Amino acid sequence: MSEAQVSKSEVSPSLVRGSEAWSVSEAKKIYNLPFNDLLFQAQTIHRRHFDPNSVQLSRLLSIKTGGCPEDCGYCSQSVHNPTGLKASKLMEVERVLAEARKAKAAGATRYCMGAAWRGPKDRDMDVIVAMVEGVRSLGMETCMTLGMLSPLQAEKLADAGLDYYNHNIDTSERFYSEIISTRTFADRLETLANVREAGIKVCAGGILGMGETTDDHIAMLVTLANLPVPPESVPINMLIPIPGSKLEAAAPVDPIDFIRAIALARILMPMTHVRLSAGRNDMSDEMQALCFFAGANSIFVGDTLLTADNPGEDHDARLFRRLGLKPMALDAAE
């Protein structure tokens, strides 16, 4: 075994983070292991905590599209990116529930609702709360992504029974200001702290392929793993370069680097659901298979992800059959 194989999570699989932080140099050693060693280690840890052939299925709905005042360089919904996307108003609760019923019938156990906001306005909170309560009453897990949250807003969502709140850190602290200027990395961490404090589970990840280095991938994952409690879900996205956005010409991430990042996420955060998120449409089945082997165990299903294309359900069902994968049951999905 190489020395990097003696990772904290290996030594102590039940370790609750916070007692001992990962250092970037430790994480770098793991990330740079020979590929086969890295994947073997990630798969070994994965099997300790999860059924290796189960993948959690989430469905994402845009409940308020476009017109966002933030300037995230990758996003089709920012008013700063002339992508031609038409802005829409907040959806009605009944429409959201009708979509959630369809998602449940198609096997999704978690329903994620996203609004293109800097943060919710207090006047929107009643409608948001009704959506959470309605989706929960269907027997699904709920997740919201609404931008920055104050402690009071987080408490309201917690009282409504919200299971997860998504708020990505996007990239490393070093690279962050290259991508977003309208809110800081520290703002992001503050929202995550408010969510955790309110007792809501945390979903936080990032995007690869925005022009960052592999050191940024490592630093981002170390930041997530070293949160006082690591996120229960970590979505790893591959940039979809949107025409008209600041990152429309970004060079694609090397697929091997992407798979290494998935494996590192699994090793640093053994109990976390690592989600293969945006960009699956541009991944081969073979690349997705390697991501699952490296420890990814959650995907978004459905033809669209907010405003981007996603593999259709037929394609995913075929891929699952070829790989012998099955959807994770709700009780196993936390």
Catalytic site residue from 17, 59, 110, 112: 112
> φ and ψ at 211, to 5 degrees?
105, 5
DSSP 68: B
Stretch that binds ligand SF4, among 4-12, 40-48, 74-82, 295-303 (CB under 6 A): 74-82
Q: Considering only residues 55, 60, 61, 116, which one is a binding residue for ligand SF4 as defined by CB under 6 A? A: 116
Catalytic site residue from 59, 110, 143, 291: 143
Rule CB under 6 A: is residue 210 a binding residue for ligand SF4? Answer: no
Rule CB under 6 A: is residue 295 a binding residue for ligand SF4? Answer: no
DSSP string, 186-226: HHHHHHHHHHHHTTPEEE--EEE-SS--HHHHHHHHHHHHT
Stretch that binds ligand SF4, among 23-31, 65-73, 85-93, 320-328 (CB under 6 A): 65-73
Nearer to ligand SF4, 39 or 146 (CB): 146
260 in catalytic set:
no
Min separation Cβ 80 and ligand SF4, Å: 8
Rule CB under 6 A: is residue 68 a binding residue for ligand SF4? Answer: yes
Stretch that binds ligand SF4, among 7-15, 69-77, 159-167, 209-217 (CB under 6 A): 69-77
Question: Which residues have CB under 8 Å from 254's CB, separation 6+?
Answer: none
15: exposed, middle or buried (C-beta count within 10 Å: 0-12, 13-18, 19+)? middle
Amino acid identity for residue 76 in this structure: S
Question: Which residues have CB under 8 Å from 286's CB, separation 6+?
Answer: none
The residues in 75-94 that bind ligand SF4, with binding defined as CB under 6 A, are 75, 77-78
| SS3 at position 179 | helix
Min separation Cβ 192 and ligand SF4, Å: 14
The residues in 230-269 that bind ligand SF4, with binding defined as CB under 6 A, are none
Nearer to ligand SF4, 164 or 292 (CB): 164
Question: Which residues have CB under 8 Å from 31's CB, separation 6+?
Answer: 38, 214, 217, 218, 260, 261, 263, 264
291 in catalytic set:
no
Residue 27 near residue 223, CB atoms below 8 Å: no
Amino acid identity for residue 78 in this structure: S
The residues binding ligand SF4 (CB under 6 A) are 68, 70, 72, 75, 77-78, 116, 147
Question: Which positions are catalytic?
Answer: 68, 72, 75, 112, 143, 203, 275
